[in-house]
Structure 1
């Protein structure tokens, strides 16, 4: 399956995600994205840095602490972190939100609208992340 098919079928096709993208784990390239969902290079690098720090069990985490205090940006919108869970970041902007999950080689970013239950959106993104990890990605 192509990366775009994962975005279109597994994420957006679930009905729980309204736009999504899959990028490299380094945050330096976009592999697939929903039409009109453009996450900037600086935004991707910041997300990758947060996830890299979140995976560490100890030590300083300046990027993560800054994001928790000031939020982070996805597609030009500022989100407040509600939780960082090892490989996953959850963010809110009013009634909408994002779930971001890291695999060995990729970062999945799923956005959900205000009429979606955040837990369903998160479960959709995390299930695809689990599948990709098992497949070696």
Structure 2
């Protein structure tokens, strides 16, 4: 839905009354799937947070300096949404001309803007009242026997 942004408080009903539907439900489901898949197996793996279904997309571009593309500096972005089953929050991170932390690492968005988004979600999700859900995790589950 396309909604007029505002900093004024409004109810969901008021926001939806003026909203315009711009994509089909099938498109929404497809995009959620692709963003989730990118976080599981693609360039957004560094943004994963255990217990929270995170999805997103990285973006790496050569930085423009004096009207020319630089071969040495990048401009990186990452957009993440969570929880992907019913996205409520969006995190957008930017890394302007990042430098690799260790020799041999690259300065692409997956290694910096994606990591930042994961760290923000890790810290903010609980403060926002988003409860973790480990049912979709493939790893071992802690079990107590009595």
When normalised by structure 2's length, the TM-score is 0.36
Specify which structure has the higher proportion of helix: 1
When normalised by structure 1's length, the TM-score is 0.38
Specify which structure has the higher proportion of strand: 1
